[in-house]
Amino acid sequence: MLAACRRAAEVAGIDYPQLVYSRIQNEVSLASQIPIRAMCRQAGVSGAGVYRWRDAPPAVDPDMDLRDEIQRIALESSCYGWRRVTAELRRRGWTANHERVRRIMREDNLLCLRRKKFVVTTDSNHDRPVYPNLAGSMVLTDIDQLWVADITYTRLETEFVYLAVVLDAHSRRVIGWALNRILEGDLVIAALRMALRRRSPAPGLVHHSDRGIQYASKDHTDLLKEHRIAISLSRKANPYDNVTCESFIKRLKYEEVYRQECQDLAEVLASIGCFIERVYNERRLHSALGYRPPTEFERMLAIPATRVYGRTFLT
C-alpha cells in the first residue's frame, strides 16, 4: 500500500499523507484486521492525522462559482480562448484575473476547437476594368466609410453553396450577405443590395473587394456608381489587402461551418443566417473593438465619446 500511494501521489500531484489517509479509511471500511495505528506506522504518517482528516468538513473549491460561470461561457462560445472568456466574465460583472481564468480553463480542459485549413479561390483572370486599391491608405473614424466584401463556399453532402458578404470595416459588422448554389455576379449584387437597404450610405463611401470577376462585373460596378460609392480592388494575389473580410470568413468556417453537418441549402441558410445575425453581430466579442460585439460598438459611436488610438470609448 505504501509504495502504491507514493507512486499515485507523485503522478497526481497530491499530498502524500492525504492519499494515505484515504487508503487507510478504505481498508477500515473493508473490515481489515490490521489496526489503524499499525497501518499508519507502516505508511509513516500520524495516527491522529487519520482521525482529523476523517472528521474534517468537506473542502470547498474557492473557484466553484467562477468555474461554473466559465463552463457556461465555454458551452455558449466553445471557440473562445482565455482572453475572450476573461472579457465576457467582466461584462457579466465578475472580477477575475486572466491568469486565474487560464488556470481554471486548463484544469477543466476547456480547449478551443482546432482550425481547419482555409482555402481561398478567386478568379481574377478577366478583361474587366481594374480599379486601384483605395482602402490601404484609409484611416477609419466612423462607420460607412469603408465596406469590405468577399466570397466563400460551403461544401454540403452532394454540392457546394456560395456565400457573399459585405462588412463595415470600422465596426466589423456584417451588413449584407447572400447565399446561393451558383457562383455568379448576382450573388455579390444581392449581398450589396442588402447592405444598401440597411445603411443608405452618404456619398464618399469606399467599397473594397478582391479582383474576382463577380466584383469587376459591369452590373456590380454600375450599382456602386449609381450610389456614388468609390470602387477599390485588392492588389493581385494579395489577400492581406482584404484582411478584415478574410478574418470574418475564417471565423465563420471555424466557429460555425466546420461544427455543423448541413444537408441542403435550406439548412445551411438557417445555420449561417443565425450565426451572422445573432452570434457574430450581436454577441461575439472582438478584440479590435475593445472586446465588444459589432452592434454594441456601433451604438456607442452615437454616444458623445472620446476617441483614443483610433477607437471610441465612453467619457
CATH number for the domain spanning 156: value is: 3.30.420.10
- Summarised one tens digit per residue, pLDDT across range 244-269 is 888 898 888 888 887 777 788 888 89
Residue ranges making up the domain that contains 85:
64-107
Predicted pLDDT of residue 277? 95
0.95 exceeded by the pTM? no
What is the rounded CA–CA span in Å between residue 209 and residue 216? 9
State the Cα torsion 153-156-159-161 to the nearest 10°.
-30
Q: Is residue 301 part of a domain?
A: no
Q: Is residue 308 part of a domain?
A: no
- Summarised one tens digit per residue, pLDDT across range 147-158 is 999 998 888 877
Q: Per-residue confidence of the chain (315 residues) as pLDDT tens digits?
A: 544 555 554 444 456 666 776 777 777 667 667 777 777 777 777 777 777 767 666 666 677 788 788 777 777 776 677 788 888 888 888 888 888 888 877 776 675 555 444 444 454 555 567 788 998 888 999 999 999 999 988 888 778 889 999 999 999 999 999 999 888 889 999 999 999 999 989 999 999 998 888 898 999 999 999 999 999 998 776 666 788 888 898 888 888 887 777 788 888 899 999 999 999 999 998 888 988 999 999 999 888 754 544 555 554
| Together in a domain, 101 and 228 | no
| Together in a domain, 183 and 142 | yes
Nearest one of 175, 121, 123, 185 to 148, comparing CA atoms: 175
What is the rounded CA–CA span in Å between residue 187 and residue 144? 21
| Together in a domain, 268 and 147 | yes
Q: Is residue 221 part of a domain?
A: yes
* Domains identified in the chain, total number: 3
Grid cell for residue 7:
507512486
| Together in a domain, 79 and 184 | no
| Together in a domain, 267 and 180 | yes
Q: Is residue 14 part of a domain?
A: yes
Predicted pLDDT of residue 119? 43
| Together in a domain, 199 and 257 | yes
Contact 175, 166 (CB under 8 A): yes
| Together in a domain, 51 and 69 | no
Predicted pLDDT of residue 310? 52
Predicted pLDDT of residue 72? 78
What is the rounded CA–CA span in Å between residue 196 and residue 62? 52
| Together in a domain, 149 and 271 | yes
